[in-house]
Structure formats: structure tokens, C-alpha cells
Chains A and B, each alone.
Chain A
């Protein structure tokens, strides 16, 4: 399809190397006015490096950036903003103690020197929100907003810039369905205004529904400047992973009739009101429901993070005292938290230490830690879970999201967990790593473990679960075979009940 808009921004033969790795090699990209352009690729394929070159955070070693056909040098983030580049980063760049209006104008406060022009700041913030058709109080303190709201503020910050190019790095990872719909509508409006949008997402449904053009990156090189509106999911996945992936969700059905976990009438002060469900050996129980419906709160209750005010938990026919994570780990629970970096990884530890930390007793020999045994067992997990061999040389901080996730799974396998609670296990990781996580789920169920899966991705939830428990306002309202549930039904039932409440 011919594209109407002229070329606003162009990257030519961009190359950027870091010590030991070429992050971008000969990447070229054209952004037309009025186009939403997807940038796809596995973690480590060089997307972030490319974005950083565009927003002025660092300089390419070779190649050129052109705006309206003229070469420009984006010397600093400030400079890039002046030239019309707005970036929404995956990790928030908001100051939690300042108000929404202050954040939106961060670094470019209107007004004379030290004096802030408050009415103008509020006005511009309101205008940005009006353009997005959302309502957030410009005077609210950012730290007190919910995560989706913060994400919207982050986006409003970019909108307020009146930029000609808007870069969004995984903007929907923290958003619920309604907010995603809002965002998509907004991006389409921006497109209609003739701006260009560079969009990074791991969610294929989004890519196919939203974007006009996609460029895939692999190992730092642009592989598929697929200049077409016909975007085929399989082709995108293949171009990124490098081999044809026939099935996104390689679900194995390993559920047995053997009862593993019984949760009866769970309630906590933190949002669980009445949760009754069971998990069998080899089964994946999905927890479905909208953001804030209490799914994560159920996970917290099961792991002993919130005190139970009512109900009981039985694991393999034994009552479990839910006094704290220590007890629950000993009983056989594992929790993979949503926020891998903040509450999962120890970036100060190497891979072996990250794996053994939840079960140090296992490597104690004659009263002290057996470091050689620790290395051996870590090596065994690296092989078994196909963790990148880099994991044995680099700090876990430098591993890709998928490999970090595997390191944490190895930790819980080593802790002899029976029930794996996976809270958004594939959030923010690329498709290749997602498939690897699905295979891990299969492996867990094959070994007779029970899995409780929480996911914001409804396709994933339905495809990977054996049964789905629908959660609303902290109550498990219905448990259904996943195959019998339809995505629309899942969304509908939770949204309708949400609206009715």
C-alpha cells in the first residue's frame, strides 16, 4: 500500500557498538508522517539501543539520522525533545513526590527562571488529558496514583510535547483493557494529525490491530522492513525468533485427578474476600479478572505475605500454617512475582547465588556452604532450563528478561516447590522467551507440579490454563474449563460485573 505522508524521520545505516557487543549494525528505518510503525525483536536484539539513539541518550557510532530529509545530530535527550522527539519509556521516568502537572513539564517548566507558571502547567496537563480522553487530576501526587494511571501520565508527558515523533516502549505492559483501548484510539488520532509513532510491543494482538508498518530486529540488524499493512503474526514471530514457530501456545494437558492444593474461603485484609479453589497435580489454574480484581492479592495470601483473616490452605492433604513466606516455601509454595527486578532478582548475586538463595540448607555441608556444589547445581539448571550460557559469566543484571525469569524458576525448582504461583510470568519478555516460559510451565506440570497462572494477556491465560477461576472484587465467582471459556466471555464477565459493582 502506498503511504501518503512524506518521510518525517529516517535512520540510515545506524551502527552502535558497546565493549564486546554490536548492538545495532546497519539498521535503517523510515518513519512517515501519519504512520504507526512497530519495532519488533527479542530482548537483546537492539531495540532499546536504537530507541536511545533516537531520543538522544547516546550517539550512534556510524550512520545518520535525518529529519525532513536533513541530517540532524541528537546531542542530548533535551536536544532531541527540542527537535520533536518524545519518548515514553518502559520504566517510568516520573518523580513520585511531584504532582501530575509538574511531572508532565519535568525539565521544561514554563515560567520565568525559578518561578513556575502554575496555571499554565495545569492547563497544558488538562489539555493533554483531554486529548487522551481520560480524567486525571493535574494536582494529584504521582506516587499516589495507580500504576496504569502513572503509565497514562507518562504518555501524557509525551503528548504534551507536541512532538513529530513519539516513541513508545512497551506502553501497555501495565495497562488494563479499557486503558489499552483508550491508548490505541489516541495513537490513531495522533496518526491522523500526521505525526509518526514508533511502537515497541511484545503483544502480537496489539501489533496486528494497530500498526501500519513493522520492522523486525534480530541480533542488532534490521531483518524485515516489512513495508506492508498486511502483517502476519506467524511471519513476525518467525522473523524475530529466527525459526518458524507453529504454535504460540504449546500447551500440554498434564492435569491429573490427584488433588494437590485446596484453598477454602480465603480472606485477607488486603483485598481477598472469598476465594475457594483447588489445584490438581499437573494442572494449570488460571486466575482471570481485571486489574485490581484481587488476583495478585490471592497470590499474596497463598504465599503468606498477607495474614489470612479467614479460610484455610491444605497442601497434599496437610493443613499449611500461612504465617509467612518462610513457612509457605517450606510447605512447597513458590511465588514468581510480577515485578521480577524489584522483588525477584538479586542483582548483587551471580546466577548460582540467585538459584540457591531460597534453599540454602541444601548446600550446607558440615556447617558451611559448599560453594563447589553450588556451582555444580547451578550449571545443571543452566543446562536443564536452557538458560543462556552468559548466565554463568555475567551478573544477572545483564541477562535478558527471559533468562532472568528462568533463573528465578530455577530458584524455585531448587527449593522443591510443589505449587508454582506465576504472577504475569511473561510480562515484558519477548516472544521467544515467552514460548520458553510456556514450555517451562509444561515441564512443571509434566513433573506433577501445580501451577497458578495470573496473566493480563487473556489469550495466554485461556491457552495455557486447564481451568480458569474468575476473580472479581476479591471473590472467586466461577471456575470453568479454560477450553469452554471464550476470551470475550472472560473479558465481558469481569467487565460487566465490574461496571455493575
Chain B
């Protein structure tokens, strides 16, 4: 078992290291302490949101809505604190709960009303965005609260707080997927929903819960996003759903469902962020960055798809190693 999860992480880890090396070669500024801690802050939001996207993908669905959910939730949070005057911590908890509620709406429509998740969350992408603009006449809310910025910029034991959130969240997600019944059921439902039903698993409830967790993680992302600039805006989170899905896919999650490793998603998120960071440091304009990220996603999926062929090609290049290690599918 252990070696299986080990190999599932090896590929994404190698990809991340290679990308980091390439970036470090092109610019010495990459390895400066300031840049690295900036990188941690940058990756934290995508990484947290990507946990939810990954779980939904494991369960056999897809979630296109977290970007818009972040816009809506950051606005709701900012409005609650600044304009309504609700207690900061109460508002924070309410925002997390509302995120879970948004996710559960996606889950309900997908699992119980049997609308394909691609359509459900595409509709939610549109609807959540629209809702976000209904608050404060569609204008951003600035200077939300003095309590907000420390959530993003604070430290504990000299560790930046976002890093702490990422470690805790991925620790919990890893436990969930490996040691909890729900996690096992998510893999089962994603792998073979009919067999899962016949094995006594409540397929709909499992899908519903995966989306609910995704909503909760989007809310966590929304709070960090708001804390970063001490503001809420209906324009936050645009395109984040794609980065989150890309992180999962680069980490090796199968879009067919049932296969993948949640910790690999963190590696995937790091890979994307490092690429973007490297392109920024090299002064590559942002439209070109988007194009490059797109190409990387295709290559990442391609490496997964062409594993056998690539293995053979490398085997020929390295005749010293007679046998190419067969990549085992992690469960």
C-alpha cells in the first residue's frame, strides 16, 4: 500500500522539481527568500480550493464554480463585517457555512436531481458571479476590518499562516481519503457508481458530500482572498476554478474519477504557481502566461496518458536499466 501511494506522488514531485530547477536556472531571483515566501502566499489559495476540486473529481464529477463562489463569498463576508456590522468571527464562520451551503446546492442538483456536474457547476459559475454583483451595487468593499489582514499575513512559530492552513487542510484531506469511510466511498463512487450502489454505498449522499466539502474549501479560499487585500470584490476568483482543476490534473487525478492522490494536488498547485512565478520574474506578459499554463495542463495529462509509450522510449534511451519500472495506479 505504502509504495503505491509513494509512486503516485513521485511523478508530480519530479515534475515540480524539474519546473523549479528550470525556473531557478532562468532567474536567480527565484530562490531568494522573499520570493519563496511570496510563493507560499500565492499557492495557498489555489491549493486550498484545489482540495475541493480534487475530491469532486475523485467522486467522478467536476466543479467549475469555486471561482465565482469566491467572488460571492468575499462580497458577502465583506458586506457582513463592514456594512452590516456583524461580529468579525461570527461573519467568518457564517461565510464558511455559506460556502458549504453553496457547495451542497451543487451537490443536491447533481446527485439528487441528476443534472451532470459539468452543467450544474457551469450554471453555478454564472449564477454565483451574478449574485456577487448584487451586493454593494456591484462595487468592491475596501478596508473591511483590521482583524482581516493578519489572517493572511500573520505568522505562528515564524511560519506564515497560509502555510499552516495548507498543511492542516491537506493533512485532513489526506486522512479523509485514506482512513475515513467517506473518502473510501468517494473513490468507490467515482470508480464505479453502479458497483458502489450494489455494495450498499449511498452514491448520491457521497457525491453530495464531496460537493459540500468543495464549497467549504472555496469559502476558505474566499476568506484568504479577502484578507490578502482586506477587501471583498465580485471580480475575485476569476479563472481560479481552472487553476484548481489543473492542480488536480497535474497531480495525476483521473478525470474519469476514482483514481488519484490528494497530496499530489498540492504538488500540482505548486507546479502551476512556480511556473507563473517564474514567468512573472522573467517579465513574461500575462496573456502569454495563460497560454503557457494551458500548454502545461495538456502536457501533464499527456504524460499520464502516454505513460507506457514514454516508459518504453526512456527504456531505450537508458539501456543500462533493463526494466522500466511499471507505474502502479494508486488507489
Interface hits, B253-286 → A, CB 8 Å: 254, 257-259
B192 at the interface (CB under 8 A from A): yes
B331 contacts A325, CB within 8 Å? Answer: no
A346 contacts B181, CB within 8 Å? Answer: no
A326 contacts B202, CB within 8 Å? Answer: yes
* Chain B residues engaging chain A, CB cutoff 8 angstroms: 1, 4, 175, 178-181, 184-185, 187-188, 190-192, 194-202, 254, 257-259, 323, 326, 328-329, 331
Interface hits, A341-398 → B, CB 8 Å: 342-350, 353, 357-358, 360-361, 364, 368-369, 371, 375, 395
B198 contacts A346, CB within 8 Å? Answer: no
Which residues of A have CB within 8 Å of B200?
325-326, 329-330, 358, 415
10 shortest interchain CB distances as A-B pairs: A348-B191, A348-B258, A368-B179, A329-B200, A343-B194, A358-B199, A326-B200, A346-B191, A357-B199, A348-B259
C-alpha spacing A335/B199, complex, angstroms: 9
A337 at the interface (CB under 8 A from B): yes
The answer to whether residues A348 and B175 also contact, given A325-B197, A369-B181, A369-B184 and a CB cut-off of 8 A, is no
The binding surface of chain A is classed by DSSP as mixed
A357 contacts B201, CB within 8 Å? Answer: yes
A2 at the interface (CB under 8 A from B): no
B188 contacts A375, CB within 8 Å? Answer: no
A19 contacts B197, CB within 8 Å? Answer: no
C-alpha spacing A368/B258, complex, angstroms: 20
Task: Out of B179, B188, B199, name the residue touching A371 (CB < 8 Å).
Answer: B179
* Chain A residues engaging chain B, CB cutoff 8 angstroms: 19, 303, 305, 325-326, 329-330, 335, 337, 342-350, 353, 357-358, 360-361, 364, 368-369, 371, 375, 395, 411, 415
Which residues of B have CB within 8 Å of A303?
198
Residue of B175, B200, B323, B331 with most partner-chain A CB within 10 A: B200
The 20 sampled A-B contact pairs (Cβ below 8 Å) are A305-B198, A325-B197, A326-B201, A343-B198, A344-B195, A346-B191, A348-B254, A350-B331, A353-B184, A357-B196, A357-B199, A357-B201, A358-B199, A358-B200, A360-B181, A360-B185, A368-B179, A369-B184, A371-B178, A371-B179
Residue of A337, A346, A375 with most partner-chain B CB within 10 A: A346
The answer to whether residues A337 and B331 also contact, given A343-B192, A346-B258, A371-B179 and a CB cut-off of 8 A, is no
The answer to whether residues A348 and B187 also contact, given A368-B179, A369-B179 and a CB cut-off of 8 A, is yes
B180 contacts A348, CB within 8 Å? Answer: no
Q: Which residue of B lies closest to A372 (CB)?
A: B1
C-alpha spacing A278/B109, complex, angstroms: 42
Shortest distance between the CB of A313 and any CB in chain B (Å): 17
Which residues of A have CB within 8 Å of B191?
346-349
A368 contacts B180, CB within 8 Å? Answer: yes
Which residues of B have CB within 8 Å of A325?
197-200
